[in-house]
């Protein structure tokens, strides 16, 4: 094989043998036919098969060390812990301050009290714009001033204190 | 073990996605699938049992550390052998020049284990070993890059496409080099013809 120049057909066949996995059915058939009649290509194919067989046998004879897997598990656990720690550290950096648990609880209570107090204040002294005045009176029947006087008296009785005309319209809704 | 059965049906890529989330069981299955392949690859690329074992561990440490970089759309074996190939390249760079071939004495005293199975014919085993050593002696002469191409194809049975991705060579280049390597082996090993299949 070495001193004689390999014919072109044989070169192609030997290429097909090396890249065997890509052979189509027809190429495979042609290759088998060629091997029957060509001792050089047959020797080439035999050598390839031998090498592959030996390499496969060699692979199955390997015995990987047991300690490796244990070390890999430790490494993976370390990485996981590191990753979680990094995520927490990033979150804290994002918040830009370090907070102790009792401090955090105190802050939460202060915020809750503030919101509750604000709500109470809103109930006692609602903003003027918050309650639209619904004043619907037929002025041809009742004079506005007269109605105001009547309503003011009723409101003052209910509240137990004097009330201005402005407050009357902002806090009471009445229709006629 | 139930989880082993469950995990054994999963593809490499699905297992690697679990490793990315820190699943140690998925890593165990991948390790068991590939440890022998990598060991034999490293032993033939770099020589020596200890080096191969160290490199096997190194490969999986890289896998854990770089799990986030793995793209699940790509074949896992290609990615894994890419790590292994690069580790070999680094090791070669470190060594620069190393002993090129094993002598018969090296072979007889080598740390390569004879098959554990005692029914294996010793003569056959030694013949096989001499044959493979002759193959690798020739491969050493061709250089580490060509040896790695040969191993990825003939030992690991990776596709030309995968080999091209791992080595960064064009597919055409991989094909022509593989043919060249095998042609040279055929020429040089013509006198060495163990042919165990022949009567
Ligand atoms: Zn031929």
Q: Provide the residue range defining the domain that includes B81.
A: 2-188
Burial of B17 (0-12, 13-18, 19+ CB in 10 A): middle
Parse chain A into domains and list their residue ranges: 8-60, 91-125, 134-171
Residue B199 in domain: no
Q: What is the CATH number of the domain that holds B57?
A: 1.10.1740.10
CB contact under 8 A, B131 and A46: no
Among A69-78, A101-110, A151-160, the range of highest mean pLDDT: A69-78
Residue B46 in domain: yes
CB contact under 8 A, B132 and A58: yes
Residue B27 in domain: yes
pLDDT in tens, B12-55: 999 999 999 999 999 999 999 999 999 999 999 998 889 999 99
Residue B193 in domain: no
Could you give the C-alpha distances from B26 to A2, A162, B4, B11, B197, in angstroms and in order?
A: 50, 80, 9, 10, 40
Chain B environment of A80 (Cβ under 8 Å): 22
Burial of B180 (0-12, 13-18, 19+ CB in 10 A): middle
CB contact under 8 A, A43 and B35: no
What do you get for the CA distance between the two ends of chain B, in Å? Answer: 45
Nearest CB partner across the interface for A76, out of B22, B39, B53 = B22
Answer whether B125 touches A (CB < 8 Å): no
Nearest CB partner across the interface for A68, out of B57, B153, B187 = B57
Residue of B156, B157, B163, B174 lying closest to B38 (CA atoms): B156
Quickly tell me which residue has 């007889």 as its tokens: B108
Burial of A75 (0-12, 13-18, 19+ CB in 10 A): middle
pLDDT in tens, B51-102: 999 999 999 999 999 999 999 888 999 999 999 999 999 998 888 654 544 4
Residue B181 in domain: yes
Tell me if ipTM is over 0.85: no
SS (HEC) of chain A = CCCCCCCHHHHHHHHHHHCHHHCCHHHHHHHHHHHHHCHHHHHHHHHHHHHHHHHHHHHHCCCCCHHHHHHHHHHHHHHHHHHHHHHHHHHHHHHCCCCCHHHHHHHHHHHHHHHHHHHHHHHHCCCHHHCCCCEECCCCCCCHHHHHHHHHHHHHHHHCCCCCHHHHHHHCCEEC
CB contact under 8 A, A46 and B195: yes
- Closest chain A C-alpha to B62 CA, distance in angstroms: 10
Nearest CB partner across the interface for B40, out of A52, A53, A62 = A62
Chain A environment of B19 (Cβ under 8 Å): 76
Q: Are B158 and B77 in contact (CB under 8 A)?
A: yes
Nearest CB partner across the interface for B61, out of A52, A58, A75 = A75
User: pTM here?
Assistant: 0.66
- Closest chain B C-alpha to A45 CA, distance in angstroms: 9
Residue B73 in domain: yes
Residue B151 in domain: yes
Residue B197 in domain: no
């Amino acid at each position: 094989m070495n001193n004689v120049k390999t014919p072109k057909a044989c070169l192609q066949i030997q290429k097909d043998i090396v890249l065997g996995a890509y052979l189509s059915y027809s190429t495979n058939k042609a290759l088998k036919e060629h091997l029957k009649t060509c001792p050089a290509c047959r020797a080439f194919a035999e050598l390839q098969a031998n090498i592959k067989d030996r390499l496969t046998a060699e692979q199955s004879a390997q015995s990987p060390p047991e300690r490796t897997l244990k070390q890999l598990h430790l490494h993976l656990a370390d990485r996981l812990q590191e990753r979680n720690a990094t995520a927490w550290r990033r979150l804290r950096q994002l918040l830009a301050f370090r907070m102790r648990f009792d401090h955090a609880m105190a802050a939460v209570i202060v915020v809750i009290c503030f919101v509750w107090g604000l709500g109470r204040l809103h109930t006692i002294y609602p903003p003027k714009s918050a309650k639209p005045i619904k004043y619907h009176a037929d002025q041809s029947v009742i004079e506005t001033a007269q109605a105001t006087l009547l309503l003011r008296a009723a409101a003052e009785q209910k509240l137990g204190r004097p009330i201005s005309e402005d407050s009357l319209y902002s806090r009471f809704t009445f229709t006629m | 073990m139930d989880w082993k059965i469950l995990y054994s049906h999963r593809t490499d890529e699905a297992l690697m996605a679990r490793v990315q989330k820190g699943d140690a069981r998925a890593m165990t299955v991948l390790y068991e699938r590939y440890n022998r392949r990598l060991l034999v690859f490293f032993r033939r690329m770099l020589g020596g049992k200890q080096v191969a074992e160290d490199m096997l561990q190194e490969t999986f440490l890289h896998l854990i550390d770089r799990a986030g970089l793995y793209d699940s759309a790509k074949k896992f074996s290609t990615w894994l052998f890419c790590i292994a190939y690069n580790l070999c390249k680094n090791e070669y760079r470190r060594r620069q020049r190393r002993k090129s071939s094993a002598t018969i004495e090296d072979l007889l005293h080598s740390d390569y284990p004879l098959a554990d199975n005692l029914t294996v014919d010793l003569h056959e085993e030694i013949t096989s070993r001499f044959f493979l050593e002759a193959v690798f002696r020739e491969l050493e002469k061709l250089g580490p890059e060509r040896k790695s191409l040969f191993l990825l194809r003939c030992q690991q049975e990776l596709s030309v496409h995968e080999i091209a991705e791992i080595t960064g060579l064009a597919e055409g280049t991989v094909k022509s080099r593989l043919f060249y390597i095998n042609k040279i082996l055929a020429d040089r090993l013509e006198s060495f013809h163990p042919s165990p299949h022949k009567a």
